[in-house]
């Protein structure tokens, strides 16, 4: 009964539905007039033939003829009577079998079904909804963010402007609300005063309007918005945005940090306070051919060997793990310890400067080039469209798959190639092509859709990074107020409180690594952070742990040690 009331209310609230319902009633009124007129004519003609019938019989005859049932128990004997029967029959066919059903479906049934659909796409959230996240778009970024929100048990809802979008998302079990994105009243119905965050990742204009509309009624809520241009960032700041996602700069910085090169140095790929995460190649160092136990990396430098990269997968290490020529280390430690590693092993390496080929001169490609300049790394760019070239003296115009162009770009001697185009299919094609050209070339690729990450790794990419995961990770950081760092697609550095079950146990006894696949690389006790703690370090409930692992390992950690 409650659902029926909701549908009727949604139906009657629509002005078009009310107008259509009135038209249907008018048509039924016309039908009543026609039936009455035919019944009167029936009596007149029957009287002329000497037949006497009641008024109920007249209505009965008219309806049986108009509905084409024609029982035949009452018939005319004259030609004028039979002609009248034909008129009544044709009128019934046109009116009852064609016009009335069409009108009923068009003016009543279809709007009623739309009203049922509208009832399934609410325009407000219940008053009990609190600490929820409001999303204004369900795309690549928010699709990844939704998975993270579900994992961390954060309520959320997607605001869309049309019923069609709402119904499509409802089919995927996405909680959705329909409303005008630029109307402040919409956000009142979304309980904005009780929400935790608004995330808007639509166009720059819509994002600015959303920010302005929210700020009209709520000054304190956190608003995260994406921006494509400097002008949009300025407008968003004036509108009152809290955090702006600099998508191109974020991607460019992340891609540039992953360049390993041939200098055997550890290259920093992320920092979390004093904790530094770096990666380094084992090739041409004294570490080749040794096991982790034989390498003596930690005694010599103080850094912890967290794991090894294998085409985007973080592999755990054990004392018996053998270091090969193509091994890429993941190291954790302080900046001083990382520098000590470089001083210890750089002497064994080749003192060659890195050379990077950037394929794609769009916004991400240009941001990557700027980031490489900051690191003092030499680069050259390949761009297919001449009108997009910004660095004319360092850009070659042409197809990134042209062999002669690649030779001119110095691909045969480059340490790395960074593929920055927005099309995943193109990136996969180029990755396969470059891997066939050079087996030892480091291939770093941008990825747009999360589903294509595994395909790019299978194609031969060493590192794959995407807007979706990076942006979702950044948004979740702002929401949770905790430290989380994306190292690569599917691998992150995150923090968690020490569970009560580990209180008083040492790091070695906790068996966190063997049980979850995550490595504890820092602990924080009474606001004092200890990086690379010794195996005998005692853990205390409530202290902060800094862990590194794959997304699956992170999920396993929180399953085994759920937050209190």
Provide the pLDDT for residue 349: 43
pLDDT (average), residues 259-271: 74
| Residue 7: per-residue pLDDT | 45
pLDDT value for 109: 63
Between the CA atoms of 191, 194, 197 and 201, what dihedral angle is there, to the nearest 10 degrees?
Answer: 0
Compute the average pLDDT of residues 352-367: 86
Which pLDDT score is estimated for 236? 93
- Tell whether 51 is covered by a domain: yes
pLDDT greater than 50 at residue 2: no
Per the listing, tokens 């979390």 go with 272
Q: CB neighbours (10 Å) of residue 239?
A: 19
pLDDT at 99: 67
Max CA-CA distance within the chain? 125
Paired tokens of 301: 């430098």
CA nearest neighbour of 550 among 489, 486, 491: 491
Instruction: Tell me: pLDDT of 81 over 80.
Output: yes
Residue 1 in this model has a pLDDT that exceeds 60: no
Range of the domain at 319: 263-348
Whole-angstrom distance, CA of residue 277 vs CA of residue 266: 9
What is the model's pLDDT at position 283? 72
For residue 385, CA distances in Å to 362, 364, 369, 397 come to: 9, 15, 17, 7
Given a cut of 60, whether residue 11 has pLDDT beyond it is no
In a domain, 254, yes or no: no
Is 77's pLDDT higher than 80? yes
Binned at pLDDT 50, 70 and 90, residue 293 comes out as: confident
Query: Locate tokens 């770093």: which residue?
Result: 444
Domain boundary among 315, 348, 381: 348
Residues 437-494 have pLDDT tens digits of: 998 888 999 998 878 888 999 999 988 888 788 888 888 878 876 556 666 666 778 8
Q: So what's the pLDDT on residue 522?
A: 87
Same domain, 55 and 153: no
Same domain, 71 and 109: yes
- In this prediction, residue 367 has a pLDDT band, given cuts at 50, 70 and 90, of very high
Say yes or no: 162 and 206 in one domain. yes
Q: Taking the CA of residue 176 as centre, how many other CA atoms within 13 Å lie in the half-sphere pointing to its CB?
A: 23
Res. 56: pLDDT tops 60: yes
CA–CA dist 247, 367 (Å, integer): 10
Residues 167 and 96 placed together within one structural domain of the fold: no
pLDDT, greater one: 301 or 153: 301
Q: What is the dihedral of CA 431, 435, 440, 446, to 10 degrees?
A: 0
Residue 476 inside a domain? The answer is no
- Which of 348, 364, 381 represents a domain boundary (last residue)? 348
Answer for the pair 215, 436: CB distance below 8 angstroms, yes or no: no
pLDDT of residue 550: 78
Closest residue by Cα to residue 198 from 471, 478, 483, 486: 478
DSSP letters of 41-65?
HHHHHHHHTT----HHHHHHHHHHH
In a domain, 550, yes or no: yes
DSSP state of 107: I
Assess whether 340 and 361 both reside in one domain.
no
Buried-state track 463-475, b at ≥16 Cβ within 10 A, e below 16: bbbbbbbbbbbbb
Find residue 538's DSSP bridge partners.
Answer: 506
Mean pLDDT to the nearest integer, 314-336: 82
Triad 197, 271, 455: Cα angle to 5°: 75
Does the pLDDT of residue 165 top 50, yes or no? yes
Interior/surface letters 493-503, b for 16+ CB within 10 angstroms, e for the rest: bbbbebbeebe
Strand partners, 225: 200, 244
Q: pLDDT tens digits, residue range 222-249?
A: 999 999 888 889 999 999 999 998 888 8
* 17: CB partners within 8 A, 6+ apart: 11, 111, 112, 114, 115
For residues 270 and 164, membership in a common domain is answered with: no
* 22 exposure class (CB count in 10 Å sphere: 0-12, 13-18, 19+): exposed
Do 25 and 72 belong together in one domain?
yes
Q: How far is CA 319 from the centre of its chain?
A: 39
Domain end point (choices 95, 120, 145): 120
23 or 113, higher pLDDT: 23
334-346 pLDDT, tens digit per residue, is 889 989 988 888 6
Q: Is residue 30 part of a domain?
A: yes
Higher pLDDT pick, 104 / 401:
401
CATH of the domain at 66: 1.10.287.70
Mean pLDDT, rounded, for 173-187? 90
Q: Are residues 194 and 226 in the same domain?
A: yes
509 with 546, same domain? Answer: yes
CB neighbours of 272 closer than 8 A, spacing ≥ 6?
Answer: 483, 485, 493, 495, 522, 546
User: Looking at the 3D structure of the chain, how many domains does it have?
Assistant: 5
Q: What is the reported pLDDT for 190?
A: 93
Mean pLDDT, the chain, integer:
84
For residue 34, give the H/E element and its range: helix 15-48
Rounded CA separation 187/200 (Å): 13
105 occurs within a structural domain: yes
Per residue in 494-535, pLDDT (tens digit) is: 888 898 899 999 988 998 988 888 888 889 888 788 888 888
Check if the beta carbon of residue 380 is closer than 8 Å to that of residue 400: no
pLDDT at 383 over 90: yes
| pTM, entire model | 0.67
Which two three-digit tokens encode residue 309? 């990269």
User: What is the arithmetic mean of pLDDT over 256-263?
Assistant: 72
Q: Would 87 be classed as within a structural domain?
A: yes
CB 159 within 8 A of CB 183: no
Residue 211 domain-assigned? yes
The dihedral sign for the CA sequence 355, 358, 363, 364:
negative
pLDDT of residue 240: 93
Q: Give the pLDDT confidence score for residue 211 in this predicted structure.
A: 95
Of residues 114 and 173, the one with the higher pLDDT is 173
Distance, in Å, from the CA atom of 448 to the CA atom of 450, rounded to the nearest integer, reads: 7
Which one of 244-253, 350-359, 548-557 scores highest in mean pLDDT?
A: 244-253
Q: Residues 267, 327: one domain? A: yes
Task: Report the side by side order of strands in the sheet with 313-315.
Answer: 267-272, 275-281, 328-333, 304-310, 313-315
Same domain, 66 and 112: yes
Q: What CATH code is carried by the domain that includes residue 418? A: 3.40.50.720
Please report the pLDDT score of residue 530 as a whole number.
Answer: 86
* Residue 367 shares a structural domain with residue 394: yes
């Amino acid at each position: 009964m409650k659902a029926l009331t909701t549908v009727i209310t949604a139906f009657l609230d629509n002005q078009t539905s009310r107008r259509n319902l009135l038209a249907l009633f008018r048509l039924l009124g016309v039908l009543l007039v026609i039936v009455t007129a035919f019944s009167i004519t029936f009596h007149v003609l029957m009287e002329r033939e000497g037949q006497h019938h009641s008024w109920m019989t007249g209505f009965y005859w008219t309806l049986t003829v108009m509905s084409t049932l024609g029982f035949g128990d009452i018939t005319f004997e004259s030609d004028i009577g039979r002609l009248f029967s034909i008129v009544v029959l044709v009128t019934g066919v046109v009116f009852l079998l064609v016009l009335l059903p069409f009108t009923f479906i068009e003016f009543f049934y279809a709007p009623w079904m739309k009203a049922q659909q509208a009832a399934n796409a609410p325009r407000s959230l219940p008053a009990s909804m609190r600490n929820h996240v409001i999303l204004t778009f369900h795309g690549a970024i928010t699709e990844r963010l939704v998975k993270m929100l579900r994992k961390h048990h954060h309520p959320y809802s997607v605001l869309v402007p049309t019923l069609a979008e709402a119904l499509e998302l409802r089919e995927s079990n996405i909680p959705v609300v329909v409303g005008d994105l630029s109307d402040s009243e919409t956000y009142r119905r979304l309980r904005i005063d009780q929400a935790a965050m608004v995330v808007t990742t639509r166009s720059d204009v819509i994002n600015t309007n959303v920010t302005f509309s929210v700020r009209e009624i709520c000054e304190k809520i956190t608003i995260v918005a994406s921006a494509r241009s400097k002008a949009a960032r300025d407008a968003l700041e004036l509108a009152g945005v809290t955090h702006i996602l600099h998508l191109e700069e974020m991607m460019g910085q992340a891609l540039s940090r992953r360049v390993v090169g041939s200098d055997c140095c550890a290259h920093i790929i992320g920092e979390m306070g004093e904790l530094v995460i770096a990666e380094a190649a084992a090739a041409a160092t004294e570490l080749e051919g040794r096991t982790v136990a034989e390498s003596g990396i930690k005694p010599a430098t103080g850094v912890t060997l967290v794991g090894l990269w294998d085409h985007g997968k973080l592999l755990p290490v054990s004392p018996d793990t053998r270091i090969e020529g193509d091994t890429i280390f993941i190291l954790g430690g302080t900046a001083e310890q990382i520098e000590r590693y470089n001083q210890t092993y750089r002497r064994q390496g080749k003192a060659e400067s890195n050379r990077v080929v950037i394929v794609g001169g769009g916004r991400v490609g240009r941001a990557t080039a700027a980031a490489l300049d900051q690191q003092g790394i030499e680069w050259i760019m390949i761009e297919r469209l001449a009108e997009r070239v910004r660095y004319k003296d360092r850009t070659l115009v042409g197809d990134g798959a042209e062999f002669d162009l690649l030779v001119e770009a110095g691909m045969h001697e480059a340490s790395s190639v960074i593929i920055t185009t927005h099309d995943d299919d193109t990136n996969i094609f180029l990755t396969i092509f470059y891997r066939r050209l050079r087996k030892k070339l480091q291939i770093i690729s941008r990825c747009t859709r999360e589903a294509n990450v595994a395909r790019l790794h299978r194609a031969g990419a060493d590192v794959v990074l995407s807007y979706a995961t990076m942006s979702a990770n950044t948004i979740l950081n702002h929401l949770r107020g905790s430290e989380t760092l994306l190292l690569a697609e599917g691998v992150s550095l995150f923090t968690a409180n020490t569970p009560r079950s580990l209180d008083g146990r040492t790091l070695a006894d906790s068996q966190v690594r063997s049980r979850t696949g995550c490595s504890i690389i820092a602990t924080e006790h009474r606001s004092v952070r200890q990086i690379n703690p010794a195996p005998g370090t005692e853990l205390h409930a409530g202290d902060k742990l800094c862990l590194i692992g794959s997304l699956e390992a992170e999920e396993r950690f929180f399953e085994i040690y759920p937050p209190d």
